[in-house]
Amino acid sequence: MQLPDQPVLRDIVLVGGGHSHVGVLKHFGMHPLPGVRLTLICRDTHTPYSGMLPGYIAGHYSYDDVHIDLSRLAQFAGARFFRDEAVGLDLGAGRVRCRDRPPVPYDRLSINIGSTPQMSHVAGAAEHAVPVKPINGFDARWRSLLERVRNHAGATRIAVVGGGAGGVELTLAMQYRLRGELRARGRDPDELRFHLLTDDADILPTHNASVRRAFARVLAGRGVEVHRGAEVIEVSAARLRTAGGQTVDADEIVWVTRAGSAPWLRDSGLALDADGFIQVSDTLQSVADSNVFAAGDIASMVNYPLEKAGVFAVRQGPPLAQNLRRCVEGRALKAYRPQRRWLALISTGDRFAVASRGALGFEGAWVWRWKDWIDRRFMAKFSQLPAMASAAPVAPSPVKLDQEEAAQAVSAIAMRCGGCGAKVGATVLARALDALRPVERDDVLIGLHAPDDAAVVRVPKGRAMVHTVDFFRAIVDDPYVFGKIAANHALGDIFAMGAEAQSATAIITVPAGLESKVEDVLFQMMSGAVAILNDAGCALVGGHTGEGRELALGFAINGLVDEDGASVMRKSGMRPGDALILTKPIGTGTLFAAHARLAARGRWIDAALVSMCQSNRLAAQCLRAHGATACTDLTGFGLLGHLVEMTRPSGVDAELNLAALPVLEGAEETSAAGIVSSLQPANVRLRRALRNQQDAVRHPRYPLIFDPQTAGGLLASIPADRVEACLGALHASGYGHAAVIGRVLNKGDALAPIFLVLD
């Protein structure tokens, strides 16, 4: 989470993490533009580099060798990363519609979403063929194909449809890999039969004759049957039929034909070419809307028709970054002229490649090594990121503003310099909150539906109130996700008590800025929070919003329990012999500390966010139903701190099994690297509660028992005879990581109450 001192004046939203946008992110990371906020919306966190994909399939590269980590790159660039899928545009309002979150407003928009398979025109293709596009999803499809071939007894016939560079490379890479796989299993690699079908008169139609000859030779030498002029018109479970009436039997069918455009663009209002790709001028701006840019496969340059190839997407990155920059600065844009000829290095799977440029063609193992060097150097630009600069001083923004915006910007800067505490304007607040739909409850007499000075809620007869409050600064720069996490974190106390959540009031600080930007951050954040509160049946009834340097959110939450207190789960009820259950994995503290230092992989952060966004509501119900004797939610004190908070009032000791702890992926790596949350040192003081601390100190999981959690799981003691059923019910309710992590012991003579089991 970075803290720019300059208020946000312009939003550049990048949709899709393709080959051009990774260049844009790197550019803005190296040369930030004060006052400009970048937001990347992408459905994937790890985006594949197409040039190395065949090498990955052949088995020469690992997953991380060929994927760019967008979460890390966005963090480096100071960009917000919204992991979501764009499903529409509202050009008039300047908003991107997303699948799983409120629309995202932009001042300038850039689209780099690649292409999608064109299969719908061939009967049966969508059901029976494995499409290579979109390439981001190909990894999962490839791995399941690999598994099927490994398990397929006897001969396996594989047909690849598409004779361009992608189809040819893929055929040879798959063949190389699969033959190796069969050999390693003691099977005959000749069990594999490959067919390559193209509707063109020859393979590689956009390359010169010597390159085509080279590949014809390689394919023939490797026993691949090439079907030229073979337009596939029908696909069934294990068979292809061509327009010429030929049939080809195949156990696996891979589709690598010319790709199409995203269907949702049709209704976007952007000008599209005949194939549905966005028509752009030489400045990469949409010819229909100069605030919208497009690059890579999805763009169609009206003056320079280009092949759909990653090489152009990469090349368009720098001019796109420059023009986005110039556009917000109000400067003239520069035309981009793609090269007429370009170098293609096409591999044959076995660490050999053919170079093709215009009429030139040459080949060799050295060409592969050259390609490997170029590709690795390209990837290093995005994996070996320079250390991030510490907070930059306030620099004047070159963004061009109108008079009203300039006045708002001046007052926002004054506000930041003067500290915090001012109230957000009533109009901004009203507009931001207007679209929220908090759940309505009969016991809320006066709430947001009829706002007043304060909310009035009724305590139903026979029930007592449970009060709790939590407040913390944004640990992620996606306000929608942060809203969800903050609400979950606050609700944790209510559920841990075995209570029903009734009503919530919010306390918010939001950095000052242009009204429209403040309004949107409030709206996004509170939409996330309300989604979680509504799911818990908890009505948002009011709140207070002030301006401050950092985005922060907290809630005072009221819950209800039966007046007799019978259903309350307290910390103090642990009984010797009970089993300890933890419902969610730990590790959020170290992971987010690592994220801030660019030391966490994007998929680790994704998994941590999913865990933090998961409510404890169902877990609490499960624990209660299985006779939980004590319960608490894991937050800032870490696992050990919260466990001691339970053992002490319960008058018991406990045994904690380190090997059994559910741990978020990556947390062991980041804590082993010495990366811990700033709260950890205070938690470590509690090591005196450990009976065998000296023996445990070198255990890889030892640091994690001190790791502070955000929106962590529930820690509960369950009677031993019910623990198995409880665990099964937790798993069935979606808490897949829930585990028995120890047991409750009689209070012993030792001063230290906790014994760690190390293996």
Q: Rounded to the nearest whole angstrom, what is the least distance from the CB of residue 69 to ligand FAD in the complex?
A: 12
SS (H, E, C) 377-432: HHHHHHHCCCCCCCCCCCCCCCCCCCHHHHHHHHHHHHHHHCCCCCECCHHHHHHH
- Judged by CB under 6 A, the stretch of 3-11, 107-115, 240-248, 358-366 that binds ligand FAD is 107-115
Nearer to ligand FAD, 168 or 644 (CB): 168
Using the 8-state DSSP alphabet, how is residue 51 labeled? G
415 Ramachandran zone, left/alpha/beta (phi>0; psi -120 to 50): alpha
For residue 628, which amino acid is it? A
Question: Considering the rule CB under 6 A, would residue 311 count as an interface residue with ligand FAD?
Answer: yes
- What's the half-sphere exposure (Cβ side, CA atoms, 13 Å) at 119? 20
User: Which position among 13, 89, 135, 218 is part of the footprint of ligand FAD (CB under 6 A)?
Assistant: 135
Is 86 a binder of ligand FAD (CB under 6 A)? yes
Query: Which tokens hold the place of 560?
Result: 């209800």
**Exposed, middle or buried, 618 (CB in 10 Å: 0-12/13-18/19+)?**
middle
Q: Is 44 in the site for ligand FAD (CB under 6 A)?
A: yes
Residue 345 CB, nearest distance to ligand FAD (Å)? 7
Nearest to 197 by CA among 250, 137, 119: 250
Binding mask 253-292 for ligand FAD (x = CB under 6 A): ---x-----x------------------------------
CB of 112 vs ligand FAD, minimal distance in Å: 5
Listed ranges 14-22, 449-457, 656-664, 695-703: which one lies at the site for ligand FAD (CB under 6 A): 14-22
Are the C-beta atoms of residues 479 and 531 closer than 8 Å to each other? Answer: no
Query: Is position 114 an interface residue for ligand FAD (rule: CB under 6 A)?
Result: yes
In the complex, least distance from residue 376 CB atom to ligand FAD, rounded to whole angstroms? 14
Which of 157/308 has CB closer to ligand FAD? 308
| Shortest separation between residue 32's beta carbon and ligand FAD, angstroms | 23
Q: Whose Cβ is closer to ligand FAD: residue 129's or residue 644's?
A: 129
Pattern 136-165, ligand FAD, x by CB under 6 A = x-----------------------------
Rg (CA), the chain: 29
Q: Report the C-alpha gap between 499 and 491 in whole angstroms.
A: 10
Residue 426 burial (CB count, 10 A): 8
Closer by beta carbon to ligand FAD, 161 or else 313: 313
With CA atoms as reference, report the closest residue to 337 among 385, 284, 268. Answer: 284
Sign of CA dihedral 509, 512, 514, 517: negative
* Residue 19 binding ligand FAD, by CB under 6 A: yes
The single residue among 32, 296, 587, 742 that binds ligand FAD, judged by CB under 6 A, is: 296
Asked if 53 is part of the footprint of ligand FAD (rule: CB under 6 A), the reply reads: yes
Quick one: which of 18, 163, 641, 703 contacts ligand FAD (CB under 6 A)? 18
CB of 256 to ligand FAD, least distance (A): 5
* Subset of 348-377 contacting ligand FAD (CB under 6 A): none
Measured from the CB atom, is 339 or 567 closer to ligand FAD? 339
Between residue 161 and residue 220, which ones bind ligand FAD under the rule CB under 6 A?
166, 169-170
* Structure tokens, 99: 């699948």
> Which residue, 113 or 704, has its beta carbon nearer to ligand FAD?
113
Closest CB 470 distance from ligand FAD, rounded Å: 33
Cβ 614 to ligand FAD shortest distance, Å: 23
> With binding defined as CB under 6 A, does residue 113 bind ligand FAD?
yes
Cβ neighbours of residue 334 closer than 8 Å, sequence gap 6 or more: 283, 319, 322, 323, 326
- Closer residue to ligand FAD in complex, CB, 88/576: 88
Smallest gap from Cβ 165 to ligand FAD, in A, equals 6
Alpha carbon distances (Å) from 561 to 153, 232, 466, 614 = 60, 66, 7, 23
Catalytic residue IDs:
420
Q: Which of 359, 316, 314 is nearest to 337 (CA)?
A: 316
Closest to 409 measured CA to CA, from 3, 8, 5, 4? 8
Window contacting ligand FAD (CB under 6 A); options: 235-243, 294-302, 422-430, 637-645: 294-302
Does 611 bind ligand FAD (CB under 6 A)? Our answer is no
Site string for ligand FAD, 237-256 (x = CB under 6 A): -------------------x
Task: Please select the residue that binds ligand FAD; options are 4, 7, 16, 94, rule is CB under 6 A.
Answer: 16
The secondary element (H helix, E strand) that includes residue 147 is: helix 135-151
Residue from 50, 348, 558, 616 binding ligand FAD (CB under 6 A): 50
| Helix ranges (DSSP H) in 664-732 | 667-672, 680-684, 693-696, 723-732
Q: 70-77 and 588-596 helices cross at what angle (nearest 10)?
A: 60
**In whole angstroms, how close is the CB of 606 to ligand FAD at the nearest point?**
13
> How many whole angstroms separate alpha carbon 313 and alpha carbon 298?
9
Q: Does 310 bind ligand FAD (CB under 6 A)?
A: yes
- Selected from 8, 211, 313, 476, the binder of ligand FAD by CB under 6 A is 313
Nearest distance in Å: CB 221, ligand FAD: 21
Per CB under 6 A, the list member of 160, 192, 309, 705 interacting with ligand FAD is 309
CA distances from 720 to 567, 654, 717, 727 (A): 20, 14, 9, 11
Q: Which stretch binds ligand FAD (CB under 6 A): 133-141, 175-183, 470-478, 530-538?
A: 133-141
Nearest to 575 by CA among 484, 655, 527, 647: 647
- Least distance to ligand FAD from the beta carbon of 329, Å? 25
Judged on CB neighbours under 10 Å (0-12, 13-18, 19+), 418 is exposed
| Of the candidate residues 26, 80, 157, 308, the single one contacting ligand FAD (CB under 6 A) | 308
Structure tokens at 500: 């029903």
Total binding residues toward ligand FAD, as defined by CB under 6 A: 37
Q: Could you list the beta-strand ranges (E) of 134-261.
A: 156-161, 192-197, 225-227, 232-236, 239-242, 247-249, 252-255
Residue from 11, 13, 20, 529 binding ligand FAD (CB under 6 A): 20
Q: What string of DSSP letters covers 337-360?
A: ---SS--EEEE-SSS-EEEEETTE
Give the full edge-to-edge strand order of the sheet including 10-15: 80-83, 36-42, 10-15, 108-111, 292-294
Q: Which listed range, 46-54, 208-216, 540-548, 561-569, lies at the site for ligand FAD (CB under 6 A)?
A: 46-54
Nearer to ligand FAD, 101 or 642 (CB): 101
Residue-wise burial string across 274-294, b where 16 or more C-beta atoms lie within 10 A, e elsewhere? eebbbbbbbbbbbeebeebbb
CB 223 within 8 A of CB 194: yes
Q: Give whichever of 198 and 647 is closer to ligand FAD, judged by the CB atom.
A: 198
Residue 500 near ligand FAD by CB under 6 A: no
Which one of residues 12, 13, 15, 715 is an interface residue with ligand FAD (CB under 6 A)?
15
Q: Which is nearer to ligand FAD, 260 or 447 (CB)?
A: 260
CB of 473 to ligand FAD, least distance (A): 28
Q: Which is nearer to ligand FAD, 138 or 702 (CB)?
A: 138
Phi–psi pair at 64, nearest 5 degrees: -70, -20
Give the residue among 594, 747, 644, 681 at the shortest CA–CA distance from 69: 594
Within 13 Å of residue 694, how many CA atoms lie on the same side as its CB?
Answer: 0
Binding site for ligand FAD (CB under 6 A): 15-20, 41-44, 47, 50-51, 53-54, 85-86, 112-114, 132, 134-136, 166, 169-170, 256, 262, 296-298, 308-311, 313
